Amino acid sequence: MNDCIYPHPHIIWYISKYANPPLFGAPTRQFFFSKYMAKNGRKVKLISSRSAKSSNYDQSPDMGLKNEYYYKCEGVEGVLLNGTEIEYGFNLKRILSWLVFEIRLLYWSLLKAKEKPDVIIVSSLSILTFLSGILLKRKFKCKLVVEIRDIWPLTIIEAKNWNRKNFFIRLLSFIEKKGYRNADTIVGTMPNLKEHVEQVSQPDAHKVHCVPMGFDPEFAADIEVKDPYESFFSQIPESNFIVGYSGTIGLANCVDQIIDAATILKDKPIVFAILGDGPLKDKLMTHVRETNLSNVYFFDKVNKEMVGVFLKHTDLLVNPWLGGNAIYRYGVSPNKWIDYMYSSKPILVALDGFHSIINEAGCGTFIEANNPARMAEEILRFSNMDKTKLKQMGEKGKEYLLKNLNYDILTKKYLKIIDDLYAPDKLHKTKAFQTRLPSSW
């Protein structure tokens, strides 16, 4: 429990369309924070949607025409709101699912909720939830935390090359700024988010805090399972160096950079093992087959527990990113790094942007993105490294993870940020600030 002398906010609503508890598949960041907030004496209600069609939601209940489904899980009271299923990618159906979520959220919040919150956390995506958060803040006279996991609309501007003057982009930009203006505090997973907020809404930059993606030792505890990869990897000569990747295989994941590096290294005793699924997997597998690239192997997507089993067979793990993407200057904090660090393997990241976590842990290196030749050169350097040094580098990653990115530790930091909103001087400043805001805000 936090030991501040002013009252703790007791009831917390954590709202995120894509949040998920372990009851319905792989748990997400929002669930883990909710779980540890509950362990710290808070009453947490996790509000999310069943509309996403992915590994996270494969086990979601059939709700029929019901608006909401209630559940309890590890101290968290959950509200799962109904919605239409959506597929991979950004499209009109996904945008419509955002609108459906906000309508169902407001219906439940205003007409069916039995307790009013002390604090509301709205976590992107969807960015439309910022507007719902503002409305609910006024209705319940509570504190509002805006959590940024993806910077929108900048992400779609950079990734899809959308024009900033596009009506949809202007609308999302307005919502983003309005969210920052009305937030009592802003929490981001990116270490350099403050720089972005300064550009969008300079007076609100002081509100920004970084709480990165984390790791739950209770969920990730090693379990006894049959290793389905043992028979494959046992056939690879011990002298070969195994480079691994796990995750989605799509445009933004740049697995093609790994394939290009593998082509350059095809005559070296280096094997590439790629685990996952995605829209570009079939295309890349066809390319590997047609070019007779015998040092690349693909494996089907598995549940999170089995990912760790796969990663243990590798010597080096890689994570390429899109090159020339300005959004990365604010930093990244992907779940992938958590899985990689827990496996105690060294990590190679190809990223043009703000470097953090991997360099701080000393468990790998960064290189420029979209440069397969440079990636091949660095992989070759790792392959020639002493095995003991490789092992020590990988162990540094796991040690850093356990010490700094444990969700128990991160939750205490998160609660300190929230509790400080109730400090007498903060309450005074907030009231004074609100009196200066235009009525339109």
> pLDDT for 156-171, tens place per residue?
898 778 899 999 999 9
**CA-based nearest residue to 118, from 150, 141, 145, 134:** 141
* Torsion 123-127-128-130 (CA) sign: positive
pLDDT at 95: 82
**CA-based nearest residue to 12, from 76, 91, 92, 82:** 76
- Dihedral (Cα; 272, 277, 278, 283), 10-degree rounding: 50
pLDDT at 99: 93
pLDDT value at 218 more than 80: yes
pLDDT at 435: 34
Element holding 270 (H helix, E strand): strand 270-275
Average pLDDT rounded to a whole number, residues 198-210? 97
- Residue 47 pairs in a beta bridge with 15, 79
Helix (H, G, I), strand (E, B) or coil at 349: strand
pLDDT value at 1 more than 70: no
Residue 203 identity: P
pLDDT value at 126 more than 80: yes
pLDDT at 416: 95
8-20 core/surface letters (b: 16 or more CB in 10 A; e: else): bbebbbbbbbbbb
Average pLDDT rounded to a whole number, residues 76-94? 79
pLDDT at 423: 81
At 441, is the pLDDT very low, low, confident or very high (cuts 50, 70, 90)? very low
pLDDT at 439: 34
Q: 18 is written with which tokens? A: 């894509």
Average pLDDT rounded to a whole number, residues 114-120? 96
**CA-based nearest residue to 82, from 95, 64, 98, 96:** 64
At 344, is the pLDDT very low, low, confident or very high (cuts 50, 70, 90)? very high
Contact 45, 78 (CB under 8 A): yes
pLDDT at 222: 58
- Backbone Cα Rg of the chain: 23
pLDDT at 254: 95
- Residue 299 pairs in a beta bridge with 275
Q: Round the average pLDDT of the chain to a whole number and report it.
A: 90
pLDDT at 438: 35
CA gap 235, 312 in Å, rounded: 15
pLDDT value at 422 more than 50: yes
At 7, is the pLDDT very low, low, confident or very high (cuts 50, 70, 90)? low
* Torsion 15-18-24-27 (CA) sign: negative
How many Å separate Cα 420 from the centre of its chain? 25
Residue count of the chain: 441
pLDDT value at 434 more than 60: no
pLDDT at 25: 84
Contact 101, 17 (CB under 8 A): yes
Helix 167-182 vs helix 129-140: crossing angle, to nearest 10: 30
Lowest mean pLDDT: which of 199-203, 247-251, 315-319, 374-378? 247-251
pLDDT value at 437 more than 60: no
pLDDT at 161: 81
Give the domains, in start order, of the chain with CATH numbers: 11-214+406-436 (3.40.50.2000), 230-404 (3.40.50.2000)
Lowest mean pLDDT: which of 126-130, 138-142, 250-254, 347-351? 250-254
**CA-based nearest residue to 372, from 282, 256, 284:** 256
pLDDT value at 258 more than 80: yes
Helix (H, G, I), strand (E, B) or coil at 61: coil
pTM: 0.88
Q: 38 is written with which tokens? A: 């509950």
Tell me the H-state helices in 268-405: 281-290, 304-311, 335-342, 358-361, 372-383, 387-404
Helix (H, G, I), strand (E, B) or coil at 29: helix
pLDDT at 85: 72
CA gap 69, 131 in Å, rounded: 23
At 426, is the pLDDT very low, low, confident or very high (cuts 50, 70, 90)? low
At 56, is the pLDDT very low, low, confident or very high (cuts 50, 70, 90)? very low
